Amino acid sequence: MSEKNTSDLLMDEHLLETSVSREALDKLRIGDIVRLNGVIFTGRIGLYKKLFDEEAEPPVDIAALTNVTFHCSPAVGEKAPGEWEVSAVTATASFRFEKHLPLLMERHGVRCVIGKGGMSPEFYRDHFKRLGGVFLNTVGYGIGAQYGRGVQRVEAVHWLKELGIAQAMWVLRVKNFGPFLVECDTEGNSLYEMAMKETNENLKGLYADLPLPTLKRMGEVHNPEDEVF
């Protein structure tokens, strides 16, 4: 990677078809802007617990369906029995899924993860680089109306009764679905790792004259350059 600062990023735009091919994934660089056509599925802790902690049989052959997942639960309404309409979609914070995400990638062929906040640089090197996956950050993070507009229809919903609307596995047909920012490419580079080096410079200076509080707290991070997870 030649870029060292976020101001050097190319921010190239891509429109990709799902499942996204290895070749297309390899072309993505951190800071690029991605939109998707095809099929994606949603998943968060409820789905992961069921799949990997309870080892329930998947309700559908995920690998045959798509290699793109989205850490979210959509805002949906049931227009008629079994007929769902998605109004808006936004991501939920992804770093909470470190335990289960490698399993989803290894066992079910997921290679494109859409989420919020990204994962740690170590996690990218251990799993995304190894398996050739990319992490796409939603923008904002609350631009749910734009993402909702990109959802053409609900293809299926699985484990609705068991997990509820918010945690169920939604299979969505999408068109021009985006924009997303490439946060981790198949080389394991992290946009946030690059960005935080730039902002940490400033933070350090702001803290210079401010004493530590009188009362400490157990388990607390004191170095402003550190992250909280």
Positions in the binding site for another protein (CB under 8 A): 6-7, 9, 11, 31, 33, 46, 72-78, 87-90, 92-93, 116-118, 137, 139-149, 164-167, 179, 192, 195-196, 198-199, 202-203, 206-207, 209-215, 217, 221, 224, 227-228
Paired strand residues for 85: 77
CA 205/CA 223 separation, integer angstroms: 12
Q: How far apart are the first and last CA of the chain?
A: 26
Cα dihedral 205, 9, 136, 187 in deg (nearest 10): -100
Instruction: Output the smallest distance, CB 78 to another protein, in A.
Output: 8
Nearer to another protein, 64 or 206 (CB): 206
How far is Cα 7 from Cα 9, in angstroms, rounded to an integer? 6
Distance of closest approach, residue 114 Cβ to another protein, in angstroms:
13
Element containing residue 169 per DSSP (H, E): strand 169-184
Please say whether the beta carbons of 92 and 73 come within 8 A. yes
Residue 96 backbone phi and psi in degrees, to 5: -75, -10
In our burial notation (b when 16+ CB lie closer than 10 A, e otherwise), range 109-130 reads: bbbbbbbbbbbebebbeebbbe
Residue 19 or 178: which CB sits closer to another protein? 178
Give yes or no for a contact between 97 and 44, defined as CB atoms under 8 angstroms apart.
yes
Taking the complex as a whole, the smallest distance from the CB of residue 26 to another protein amounts, in Å, to 22
When the beta carbons of 19 and 183 are compared against another protein, the nearer one is 183
CB of 11 to another protein, least distance (A): 7
Q: Which is nearer to another protein, 105 or 180 (CB)?
A: 180
Between 78 and 106, name the residue whose CB sits nearer to another protein. Answer: 78
Both structure tokens of 2: 């030649």
For another protein, the closer of residues 46 and 132 by Cβ is 46
